[in-house]
Structure 1
Amino acid sequence: MTDIAPPRVAIIGVWLESNRQAPVAYEQDFKDFYQLEGAAILERSREANPSIMGEAAAFVKTMDATGLWEPVPILLAGCHPHGPIDGALMDKYLAICRKGLAEAGPLDAVYVANHGAMIATDRDDPDGELIALAREIAGPKARVVVTLDLHGNISERMVEQCDLIVGYRTNPHVDYVERGEEAALALRLMLAGLAEPKSAFIRLPLTPASVNLLTASGPYGEMIDYGTRRRAELAGDILNVSLFGGFVFSDSEKNGVAIVVTARRDVARAQMLAREIAELGWNNRARFRKKLTPLSDAVQLALKSNRPPVIYSDSGDNPGGGGTGRTTELLSALVWAGAENVLIGSFFDPPLAKMAHDAGVGARIRACFNSHAGLPCDAPFEVDAEVVGLHNGTIVGRLGYAQGRTMHLGPSAALRIGGVTAIVISDRMQTADPMFFEMFGLDIGKAATMVVKSRGHFRSGFIPWFPPQNVYEVDTEGLTSPVLERRQWQRIPRPSYPLDEDVSWTPPEW
């Protein structure tokens, strides 16, 4: 009996969600999250609580668990949501991947761990470039498998140059592990000759804000639920259904809700299901709108007593979508109004965190939010505060989106400002996990009003205290304001709903 050599699988990825109006992402921004080459990729992936994206770690662990393989780790770089990647840096990453793939010798597969909504300072589709590079160097017989965030903006090149795209199915994103496992298991099927994938792709002229892309309910969730059910009904013919709501703030030529259906062998089955899902979404397009809570109404509700506890999303300043994490509009309004029993987080302000650490717990300081230069939306706010908590900022997520992930927030502080306790951190991250407050010993269950700088991922992290009916998305300023009409768009294909009312779409005739 002839021994079969274990499959040789290269690992590459540049993970970034780009907000076109946010500051450019440079190499240090990636290093602040992760930039790994060679064996360090495997070491980090195999940790119990990895700090890299969960799908990449799960892919490695699943390949480890399902048989022999020869991993060829080349580059995994990840950056917190930011602006466009510096074009020269993207060229550098592509060169590293090209060199690593070329020197690897014959490969059976390449795994690409990207976000899917990356743009560069000099082009719109660096995700597609990286996938195409994998195909070019590995060759037509090698398998190319890609995992993406469901906010990815999908180009034709991204679909055409790989065998399989696996997108998240949940928003808040709590299925990283499952999607990494799915990608690895699908690759095993391909390598065993049990699947010869064929994909169908449709992009709709539909560009909703992210607040309209929750999956527990609403039109987007219904599209995903329909695709999942129909996949099961098609008796194994469909390998994967991935629905991408897109990331409108990338403002790119590839924006638009996208449907990617991959059949096990028969492309006609994929085309049929992709069209069904697209028609469902398009017929429900008017539902991809949401009314926000005005700031004045949010303040008045916070002042009311004898009501259930509520949680506010500071929707205009979501660091998870490229927001600065520094706007003080909602904080200052609550402080000036005299709101009581409020927890609010988290403000990205390293100088203020350092001031608090230098002063120590129990000290009273003149807290200067945004003492360092920022964007016009980052208004300074100066107020007396008491330092009530200090932490080094290294935590492991406890619930939902960040569960099990190690996060390094840097020097962090809890500041009491009258009836408001504000969290200050030194690494820009959205507040989607209770540990942002619990690391200081704060009891979320005793708060009357919570405020988080997060668009939607906080819902899974704070649901034990705040069911959906107690969640309010507040209309605030910042780089992630869901009020799309306030923004000057440059690259999104027009017309596109809801930016334009008079939009038509005709299903493809394959």
Structure 2
Amino acid sequence: MPRIAVGGFLHETNTFAPTKASYADFVHGGGWPAMVRGTDVFKVMRNINVGLAGFIGEAEALGWELVPTIFAAASPCAHVTKDAYERIAKVIVEGLAGAGRLDAVYLDLHGAMVAEHFDDGEGEILRRVRQVIGDELPLVTSLDLHANVTPDMVHHADALIAYRTYPHVDMADTGRAAARHLALLLQNGQHFEKAFRQLPFLIPISWQCTSDFPSKAIYEQLADMQSEAVPTLSFCPGFPAADFAHCGPSVFAYGKTKRDAQAAVDKLAGLIEGHEKDFDGRIYSPDEGVRLAMELSKAARKPIIIADTQDNPGAGGDSDTTGMLRALVRNHATHAAIGVIYDPASAKAAHEASVGASLKLSLGGKSGIPGDAPFEATFTVEKLSDGKFVAPGPYFGGRDMDMGPSACLRIDGIRVVVSSHKAQLADQAMFRYVGIEPTEQAILVNKSSVHFRADFEPIAERLLICAAPGAMPADPASLPWTRLRSGIRLKPNGPAFTAPHSSPLHSTATG
């Protein structure tokens, strides 16, 4: 019986975001399951949409013995603190060192983690793991579609296998795919050759959606390109908000021969580069989006849904900016709802005031985003919640959620979901838990970029994308880059990055 060590450590880092990921953020999870260690991993990683859960299910079906270390994940934000990184990495590495005989290791990683002291968080984790297990033991990793894949990650892992959907409804499926690939490696000690290429332009996250053109067609062709000769092929559009040399899209393959793998990578890269101009689209200002939504809603039978993409807590935002709320109020929108605004102080005040109270608040706007500020107004407290519920939609996949003390506040014809913890609004339950029925609203504003589509497209008349002030610009060329690799274009068909002459070269370790 093969004996496989498993673990998970996930964070998507926006180096331009206002708030860093502390150890406490990983303990809570922030939309991910809370941190678990040892055999408790098996209690949580069951029947949910997480890579490690999919791997465990497939491994058990294959009859493997599993040795758990830790699962830890936190909501996207700025750098992972050195304290958090080292404490979690230590559990993984010491767990492997004390595990006894092992036949392989599987890790569920994100691929876009930047720590305070390491640019390439995953490359460093994989290096440390390889140092413990040696060069011969198979090491397989699942990655997020937004991974900024680095040469070190490719070098240290025997296989990197990325999600193929955005919204990420296939996280568990990717864990299962990693288990199947590991089974090939374990069969007679089979070995696959690697090929890897980074692509020459950043892709805005709003246009990475795999249910739309061009990503949909690219991933369909990617699936057709896999074969017995190339059992695993991946395309990561990347997370375009990490200021280091290896930020950006990449393709990578594993083949029976180097020629097989390289041919697959070359063909896929050529396909993607041929669609460069298609990775862009219309973004509305807050007032434009709200006015259009109000006009469309007159004849609509279902809600008009607006993505507040630049304050997406799934991309590093603090989920507290007020630009879209101001636009709703300013344009006298009715039958509208917006969420989730993260503001523990306002949520606490609502609970202290009780249902039915009128409450003057300075709501949101506390993360210091340029062009944003708290929204000062009088609200009515409509409903209170302890913030605990299940999110059954296809993205969260039945996860237990804990948003902390929460409230539904009303101002005029607009309802606002206010929480004490952050998670992007990607499930209809994130309105319902405070008494808002999303299907009965004319306009819904979701602090999300794409993940909300998985549960909201079926109830939407039309989807719009708006750019109010936030930590994750819809246009990556607007970010103050300083450390990208020279020559990469800052957006599709955009200007090429040139490194400042005064900036020193940085190694993987920055501290």
TM-score scaled by length of structure 1: 0.91
Q: CA deviation at 1:105?
A: 2.5
Q: CA deviation at 1:395?
A: 1.7
Structure 2 distance, partners of 1:197, 1:371, is 51
8 Å contact kept, 1:314–1:455 = yes
Aligned to 2:431: 437
Structure 2 distance, partners of 1:113, 1:463, is 28
Please give the secondary structure, in 1, of the residue aligned with 2:122: helix
Aligned to 2:278: 287
Cα deviation, 1:17-56, whole Å, max 9, x if unaligned, reads: 000022221111111213332222222223x55xxx6111
1:167 and 2:174 equivalent? no
Name the count of aligned residue pairs: 488
8 Å contact kept, 1:106–1:138 = no
What stretches of structure 2 of length at least 5 have no aligned partner? 498-511
The counterpart of 1:456, out of the listed 450, 453, 456, is 450
Cα deviation, 1:200-221, whole Å, max 9, x if unaligned, reads: 1111112111112111222333
Structure 1 distance, partners of 2:175, 2:323, is 39
Cα deviation, 1:437-493, whole Å, max 9, x if unaligned, reads: 1223422222111100001111111112115xx110012111012122322012222
The counterpart of 2:404, out of the listed 410, 434, 439, is 410
The counterpart of 2:7, out of the listed 5, 9, 12, is 12
Aligned to 2:24: 28
Aligned to 1:208: 203
Aligned runs of 1:71-82 on 2, under 5 Å? 71-82=66-77
Amino acid in the other structure paired with 2:323: E
Amino acid in the other structure paired with 1:225: E
Cα deviation, 1:115-146, whole Å, max 9, x if unaligned, reads: 10001112211101111222221122211010
Aligned to 1:154: 149
Structure 2 distance, partners of 1:277, 1:137, is 34
1:267 and 2:262 equivalent? no
Aligned to 2:509: none
Please give the secondary structure, in 2, of the residue aligned with 1:298: helix
8 Å contact kept, 1:213–1:221 = no
Structure 2 distance, partners of 1:92, 1:13, is 13
The counterpart of 2:60, out of the listed 51, 59, 64, is 64
Quick check: 396-405 or 313-322, which moved more?
Answer: 396-405
8 Å contact kept, 1:396–1:403 = no
8 Å contact kept, 1:209–1:482 = yes
8 Å contact kept, 2:289–2:465 = no
8 Å contact kept, 1:262–1:270 = yes
Please give the secondary structure, in 2, of the residue aligned with 1:400: coil
Q: Compared with structure 1, are the counterparts of its residues 255 and 221 closer, same or farther at alpha carbon in structure 2 (3 Å cutoff)? A: farther
Structure 2 distance, partners of 1:371, 1:179, is 37
8 Å contact kept, 2:425–2:447 = yes
8 Å contact kept, 1:370–1:378 = no
Q: CA deviation at 1:325?
A: 0.3
What stretches of structure 1 of length at least 5 have no aligned partner? 1-5, 505-510
The counterpart of 1:198, out of the listed 193, 197, 200, is 193
1:238 and 2:230 equivalent? yes
Cα deviation, 1:99-127, whole Å, max 9, x if unaligned, reads: 22222223111111111000111221110
Aligned to 2:89: 94
8 Å contact kept, 2:318–2:367 = no
1:179 and 2:171 equivalent? no
Q: CA deviation at 1:378?
A: 4.7
Structure 1 distance, partners of 2:266, 2:310, is 34
Structure 2 distance, partners of 1:92, 1:436, is 32
1:329 and 2:323 equivalent? yes
Structure 2 distance, partners of 1:98, 1:445, is 47
Amino acid in the other structure paired with 1:396: V
Amino acid in the other structure paired with 1:172: P
Aligned to 2:44: 44
- Root mean square deviation, CA, Å: 2.0
Aligned to 2:358: 364
8 Å contact kept, 1:14–1:77 = yes
Structure 2 distance, partners of 1:19, 1:261, is 27
Aligned runs of 1:339-358 on 2, under 5 Å? 339-358=333-352
Structure 1 distance, partners of 2:481, 2:6, is 35
Amino acid in the other structure paired with 1:328: T
The counterpart of 2:387, out of the listed 393, 396, 410, is 393
Aligned runs of 1:305-320 on 2, under 5 Å? 306-308=298-300, 309-320=303-314
Structure 2 distance, partners of 1:77, 1:302, is 39
Amino acid in the other structure paired with 2:196: F
Please give the secondary structure, in 2, of the residue aligned with 1:472: strand
8 Å contact kept, 1:199–1:261 = yes
8 Å contact kept, 2:82–2:115 = yes
Q: CA deviation at 1:273?
A: 0.9
8 Å contact kept, 1:328–1:380 = yes
Q: CA deviation at 1:373?
A: 6.4
TM-score scaled by length of structure 2: 0.91
Aligned to 1:278: 269
Q: CA deviation at 1:277?
A: 0.5
Q: Compared with structure 1, are the counterparts of its residues 229 and 476 closer, same or farther at alpha carbon in structure 2 (3 Å cutoff)? A: same
Amino acid in the other structure paired with 1:35: M
The counterpart of 1:299, out of the listed 257, 276, 290, is 290
Please give the secondary structure, in 2, of the residue aligned with 1:390: strand
1:256 and 2:248 equivalent? yes
Structure 1 distance, partners of 2:437, 2:84, is 43
1:419 and 2:419 equivalent? no
Amino acid in the other structure paired with 1:151: H
Amino acid in the other structure paired with 2:278: R
Structure 2 distance, partners of 1:137, 1:261, is 25
8 Å contact kept, 2:320–2:367 = no
1:484 and 2:479 equivalent? no
Q: CA deviation at 1:195?
A: 4.2
Quick check: 274-283 or 23-32, which moved more?
Answer: 23-32
Amino acid in the other structure paired with 1:246: G
Q: Compared with structure 1, are the counterparts of its residues 65 and 473 closer, same or farther at alpha carbon in structure 2 (3 Å cutoff)? A: same
8 Å contact kept, 1:144–1:162 = yes
Structure 2 distance, partners of 1:37, 1:403, is 21
Q: CA deviation at 1:502?
A: 6.2
Q: What percentage of aligned pairs have identical amino acids?
A: 32
Aligned to 2:124: 129
Structure 2 distance, partners of 1:426, 1:154, is 33
